A and B are shown apart, each in its own frame.
Chain A
Amino acid sequence: MPPILELRGITKRFPGVLANDHIDLTLNQGEIHALLGENGAGKSTLMNVLYGLYHPDEGEILIRDKPAHITGPRDAIAQGIGMVHQHFMLIPVFTVTENVMLGDESITNGVVLDRKKVAQEIRDLSVRYGLEVNPDLYIKDLSVGIQQRVEIIKLLYRKADILILDEPTAVLTPQEADDLFQVLRNLKAQGNSIIFITHKLREVLELADRITVLRLGKVVGSADPKSTNSAELARMMVGRSVILSVDKAPAQPKEVVLKVEHLTVRDPRAGDAVNDISFEVRAGEVLGIAGVQGNGQTELAQALTGLRAVESGRVTILGHDTTHATPRQLFELDVAHVPEDRQQDGLVLSFPVEDNLVLNEYYRPPFAQGISLNFKEIERAAAERLKEYDIRTPSIFVKTANLSGGNQQKVIVAREFTGPIKLLIASQPTRGLDVGSIEYIHNRIIEKRDAGTAVLLISNELDEIMSLSDRIAVMYKGRIIDTVNAAEATKEALGLLMAGVQQDAAHAPEISPELKTEMQDEIA
C-alpha cells in the first residue's frame, strides 16, 4: 500500500536561516509517526508547510499518491489534513460549537447558522472517540486539556484523516498527556494517520509506530521504537553522544539568602498557581526547580521578582522582607533576574545594546547624576560588558533586535551578572539557544555560584536542571512535591515526581549531612 502522505525534498528558507533542508517524509495509513527534534530543528516549519501556512521554496507534497498543491489552510483541509497547533487556535469567547463550525458552517433556512446540528455532531464525535466535550460551553471556561480535545474535534468535524499535532503535550499535565495518548490510539484504531511532533523521548517511545528525527532542518535518521532506546534517539537529536554536562566542583553552601515561607500566588485564570510553597536557597548553591511547564514555575519566578502580586506567605532575602518588594527594591538588594521571556521582559528590542546593558541600573551613579544620564559612563560600562561577556555585535549602538537569540541572552546575562549579586533567579535561561550559547551561560551560572551567589534555577529542561543544580525541587500543580539532592537524583525518579507521583517517605533528605555540620558550625 502506498503511503497516504509523502513529502519529497521540502526546503524552506527564512532570511538567514535554512529551516527545512530537502526533507523527505512518509506517513502510512493508520500509523502514528513521531517527528522528533530539538527546539529549532524545523519540525513546526515543516508541518506549517504541509498545512499551507508557509510556502516551500522547493519540494513537493503527495497525498494518496497524487501531487497536492497546498496554497493555504483551505487546500489542506480539503485534502483531509488537520492540524492542532502548539498555541491553540480557539476563540475564547465562542462556544465549542462555534469554534468547531467556524469556516465550515452548517446552514439552515438559507442563511441561518445551524448550531443545533453541529452541536449534535460534536456530541456524536465526542462519544465515538471518548472525548467528553460539552458543545455548549465557552472555550474560556474550559481547561487546557479539554481545549485540546476541542481542537481535535475541529479536525474530525472536517473529516480530516491526516492529523498533525504540534508539541501537544507541552501544555499538558502528565495525566492529561496520558489521556491524550489514549485518544490518539483510539483515533489510530479507527484508521486515522497521525504525525506527532515532540522533543520528548518518553512520549515517542510510548506512542509512536515510527520515528523520524530532525536536526538543524535536516532529517538525520529514522528509527523503530521497538528496536531503539532513549540514548540512541538523544544522540540523533542532539548530534553527539553525551548530553550536556557542566564541570563543577561540589557546592559550598553558606548562609541562607532566599527564604520562602508558605508562598501562595494566585492567577486569575487558574486559581492558585503557586500553592503554599516553602524553600530556602543558600549562598553558593544552585536550587533547581523542575516540573512540567505550567505547574506554577512562571508564577513563582514572577512573584519572587516583584512582577506578580503575592497572595499570602512571606519571602525574605538576606533578612529583608521582600514579599511585596518592587523589582527596583530587589535590584537594590543585589538580586539578579534572567526572565523567562527575554524578548518581552528582558530587553527593549528597539533600544541600542548599550541601553539594554544598563536597563536595570541607569538611574544611579555612575550612570546618572541626579536626573541626568552620564553617557560617557554608560558607553564605557557597555563596552566593558560587551567584551567580558563576548557579545557579538558590531557596536554598542546597534539595535538589540538585530542581535541573534544567543547574543540577546548574553546581553541580559551581562547586565544581570555584573556586580556583587547575592541572589540570581534564572528562568529558562537557555531556552531556544544554540549549544554554544547554552554551554557559555551554564558556565557563567556555575561561576556565580562558586563566587557565593545563591542561584534559583527554573527550567523545563530536566537535563539543564540536573547538570546545574545542587538540589532539585520538583513543582507539580503549584506545590513543591519533593526536594532531592541532585547528586542522588535519577532522571526516572524526577520524571515520576514531575508526573505527580509522590515517593515513599524515605526520599532523599532535604538537607545533606555536610550542610548540617556546616550549619552547626555557623551557629557555634
Chain B
Amino acid sequence: MTQATATSIPPATLAPAPRANVWRSILDTLTIPVLAIFTALVASGLIIAFTAPTVLELLPTFFQQPGVVLGTMWNTVITAYLALFQGAFGDWGAILQAVQTWSSTGDATELWRALRDPFESLVAATPYIFTGLAVAVGFKGGLFNIGVEGQLFAGAIASAWLGFAIDGLPWFIHLPLALFGGIAAGAVWAGIAGLLKATRGVNEVINTIMLNYIMFLLTDWLLSDGGPLRGSAGAPRTPEIYPTAYLPRLLPDPVRFHWGFFLAIGAVFFVYWFLWKTTIGFEVRTVGASPTAAKYAGIAVGRVIVLTMALSGSLAGLGGANELLGLNHYMVAAFSPGYGFDAIALALLGKSNPFGVLASALLFGALRNGATRMQSVASVPVDIISVMQAMIIAFIAAPEIVRWIYRLRAPAQQEREVFARGWGG
C-alpha cells in the first residue's frame, strides 16, 4: 500500500491557461451552493405545505379532490414565500407608493416605514457577517470554533458594561472603548480554548461547547436578581447604556440601519487582507493546512493556534458588541437567536472565504428578516429558517447528495476538509 501511494500520485497534469477558465471555475464553485440553497428552499416548502393545518385537514380527501388539495398546498407555500421575500427585500409596491406620497406632499414618514424591511435585512445580516467570519477564520486555521455564540455573549456583556458603567465620556472615546471591550472579551473567551489546545492538546470543539454553556450561565448569573450587572428594571437585564456608546443610526425611524453594518464590511476586508496578504495570515493558513509542515517551516504553531482562536473570538465579540451598541442598548439573557450556531452554516456556504461569508450573511439576514413577516402574515413560524439552514449545511457538506439529485458529474478531484480529528486527550 505504501508503494501504491508513493507511485499513484498522478504526474502534474497540464493545467489550462488560467484566464480562459475563470468564468468556468466561478461557475463550478457556485453550482453546489446555489443548488444547495435552492434544494433547501424546495424541501422547506414541502415541510411548510405538509405541516399546514389547512392541508392536514384536507389530506384525507386527497383522492376525492386531488386538485383542491394540491392547490391548497401550493397556495400555502406561495403565500409563505411571498411574505418571506417581501419581508426580506421590501414590498416594492408600497415603496413606490410612498415615494409618490413623499414627492407630492413632502412627507417621508411613509417612505421610511416602507424602507424599513429591506434595511432590516442588512441589520439582520450584520451579526451574521461577524460570526460567519469568526467561524471562517477558525476553519482557515484548522480550528473548529463552535463557541462563537458564547463569544458573542462575552462581547455583548463587556460592551454593555462599559456602556452603562462609565458616564461622561465623549462618544469618540466611549464608543471605541465599548467596541474594544467586546473584541477583548470575545478574544479572551475563545483564547481559553486556543490556549488549552496549544499547551495541553485538548480539542477545541469540546472546550468551546463547554465554554458556551459556561457563558450562558454566567450571563444568567450576571443578570439575575442581585447579580452584578442587573439593572433596576424588574426584568433580568442590564441598565441601558449611555448614548455616547451608541453605534449611531444612519436613517430616520423606524429604519434601524446603523454604522455596525459598515463595521462588518470593514471586518470582511480586514479578514481578507489578514489571511491572504500578511505573513501572520500565511502562518494561520499553513497551520490550518498542515501543522507538521508549519512547525518544520519555523512557525510557532502553538502561538498561531492561540492567535487564530483569539482573532476568531474577537470577531464574534465585536459582533456581540455591535448588536448591543447598535440595536438593543442593554443586555438580556435571550440576546441572540443563535447567530453563533448559524455561523457554521455561513462559513461552510461561503467556503470560509470572507467575501463568500459576506454573501451568505446577506442571504441569511434577508431570510431571517423575511421570516418575521412570514410568521405574521402567513403564520409560518420563523424557525423554518433554522431547518433551511441545517439543510443547506448538509448539502454543502455532502455535495454528493446534490449531485445525485441533479445528476451532476463529480469533479475530477475532490477536496474534503476534515476539521475534527477526535476529541484529543
Q: Are chains A and B touching in the complex at the 8 Å CB cutoff?
A: yes
Chain A residues within 8 Å of B, Cβ to Cβ:
14-17, 19, 39-45, 48, 53-54, 85-87, 305, 307, 326-328, 330-331, 337, 339, 341, 344-351, 355, 359-360, 362-363, 368, 371-373, 392-395, 397-398, 401-405, 407-408, 432
Which listed residue, B4, B18, B286, B299, touches A395 by the CB 8 Å rule?
B18
Q: How far is the CB of A298 from chain B (nearest CB, A)?
A: 13
Which listed residue, B1, B9, B300, touches A405 by the CB 8 Å rule?
B9
Asked if A395 and B15 make an inter-chain contact with CB atoms under 8 angstroms apart, the answer reads yes
21 contacts between A and B (CB under 8 A): A16-B11, A17-B4, A17-B7, A19-B3, A39-B6, A40-B3, A42-B3, A48-B1, A53-B1, A54-B4, A326-B298, A339-B296, A346-B296, A348-B294, A362-B282, A363-B279, A395-B18, A397-B15, A398-B12, A403-B11, A408-B9
**B60 interface residue per 8 A CB criterion:** no
Asked if B279 and A404 make an inter-chain contact with CB atoms under 8 angstroms apart, the answer reads no
Q: How far is the CB of A359 from chain B (nearest CB, A)?
A: 5
Bound-state Cα–Cα, A156 to B2, Å? 25
Chain B residues with Cβ below 8 Å from A337 are: 296
Asked if B12 and A393 make an inter-chain contact with CB atoms under 8 angstroms apart, the answer reads yes
Asked if A359 and B293 make an inter-chain contact with CB atoms under 8 angstroms apart, the answer reads yes
Contact flags B18-48 to A (C-beta < 8 A → 1, else 0)? 1000000000000000000000000000000
Q: How far is the CB of B299 from chain A (nearest CB, A)?
A: 8
- Among residues of A, the one whose C-beta sits closest to the C-beta of B276 is A373
Chain B residues with Cβ below 8 Å from A393 are: 12
Q: How far is the CB of B410 from chain A (nearest CB, A)?
A: 14
Asked if B277 and A44 make an inter-chain contact with CB atoms under 8 angstroms apart, the answer reads no
Chain A residues with Cβ below 8 Å from B10 are: 15-16, 402, 404
Asked if A394 and B14 make an inter-chain contact with CB atoms under 8 angstroms apart, the answer reads yes
Asked if B12 and A307 make an inter-chain contact with CB atoms under 8 angstroms apart, the answer reads no
Chain A residues with Cβ below 8 Å from B15 are: 394-395, 397-398
Chain A residues with Cβ below 8 Å from B282 are: 355, 362, 373
Asked if B290 and A344 make an inter-chain contact with CB atoms under 8 angstroms apart, the answer reads yes
Chain B residues with Cβ below 8 Å from A331 are: 298
Q: How far is the CB of A11 from chain B (nearest CB, A)?
A: 14
Q: How far is the CB of B127 from chain A (nearest CB, A)?
A: 28
Bound-state Cα–Cα, A348 to B12, Å? 16
Bound-state Cα–Cα, A407 to B7, Å? 12
Given A360-B297, A398-B15, is A348 in contact with B289 using a C-beta cutoff of 8 Å? yes
- Among residues of B, the one whose C-beta sits closest to the C-beta of A434 is B7
Q: How many residues of B contact A (CB 8 A)?
A: 34
> Given A41-B3, A351-B289, 14 other A-B contacts at CB below 8 A?
A44-B1, A54-B4, A85-B1, A326-B300, A351-B286, A355-B282, A359-B286, A359-B293, A359-B297, A371-B280, A373-B282, A398-B15, A402-B13, A403-B12
**B103 interface residue per 8 A CB criterion:** no
**B278 interface residue per 8 A CB criterion:** yes
Asked if A371 and B18 make an inter-chain contact with CB atoms under 8 angstroms apart, the answer reads no
Asked if B1 and A327 make an inter-chain contact with CB atoms under 8 angstroms apart, the answer reads no
Q: How far is the CB of A386 from chain B (nearest CB, A)?
A: 12
Chain A residues with Cβ below 8 Å from B18 are: 395, 397
Bound-state Cα–Cα, A397 to B16, Å? 12
Asked if B293 and A344 make an inter-chain contact with CB atoms under 8 angstroms apart, the answer reads yes
**B292 interface residue per 8 A CB criterion:** yes
Bound-state Cα–Cα, A345 to B286, Å? 11
Asked if A327 and B4 make an inter-chain contact with CB atoms under 8 angstroms apart, the answer reads no
Q: How far is the CB of A436 from chain B (nearest CB, A)?
A: 13
Asked if B296 and A14 make an inter-chain contact with CB atoms under 8 angstroms apart, the answer reads no
Q: How far is the CB of A325 from chain B (nearest CB, A)?
A: 10
Bound-state Cα–Cα, A440 to B68, Å? 78
Asked if B289 and A327 make an inter-chain contact with CB atoms under 8 angstroms apart, the answer reads no
When A and B form their complex, which 5 residue pairs have the shortest distance between CB atoms, in order from nearest? A328-B298, A14-B8, A327-B298, A16-B10, A432-B6
Asked if A373 and B278 make an inter-chain contact with CB atoms under 8 angstroms apart, the answer reads yes
Chain B residues with Cβ below 8 Å from A403 are: 9, 11-12
Q: How far is the CB of B103 from chain A (nearest CB, A)?
A: 50
Asked if B292 and A345 make an inter-chain contact with CB atoms under 8 angstroms apart, the answer reads yes
- Among residues of A, the one whose C-beta sits closest to the C-beta of B6 is A432
Asked if A19 and B7 make an inter-chain contact with CB atoms under 8 angstroms apart, the answer reads yes
Asked if A307 and B6 make an inter-chain contact with CB atoms under 8 angstroms apart, the answer reads no
- Among residues of A, the one whose C-beta sits closest to the C-beta of B13 is A402
Chain A residues with Cβ below 8 Å from B7 are: 14, 17, 19, 40, 405, 432
Given A327-B297, A337-B296, is A407 in contact with B4 using a C-beta cutoff of 8 Å? no
- Among residues of A, the one whose C-beta sits closest to the C-beta of B11 is A404
Bound-state Cα–Cα, A481 to B332, Å? 71
**B295 interface residue per 8 A CB criterion:** yes
Chain B residues with Cβ below 8 Å from A16 are: 8-11
Which listed residue, B4, B294, B299, touches A14 by the CB 8 Å rule?
B4
Chain B residues with Cβ below 8 Å from A348 are: 286, 289-290, 293-294
Bound-state Cα–Cα, A341 to B6, Å? 12
Contact flags B284-315 to A (C-beta < 8 A → 1, else 0)? 01100110111111111000000000000000
Chain A residues with Cβ below 8 Å from B290 are: 344, 347-350
Q: How far is the CB of B291 from chain A (nearest CB, A)?
A: 10
Chain B residues with Cβ below 8 Å from A350 are: 289-290, 415
Q: How far is the CB of A458 from chain B (nearest CB, A)?
A: 15
Chain B residues with Cβ below 8 Å from A368 are: 279
Asked if B293 and A346 make an inter-chain contact with CB atoms under 8 angstroms apart, the answer reads yes
Asked if B298 and A360 make an inter-chain contact with CB atoms under 8 angstroms apart, the answer reads yes
Chain A residues with Cβ below 8 Å from B278 are: 371-373
Q: How far is the CB of B47 from chain A (nearest CB, A)?
A: 37
Chain A residues with Cβ below 8 Å from B9 are: 16, 401, 403-405, 408
Chain A residues with Cβ below 8 Å from B297 are: 327, 359-360
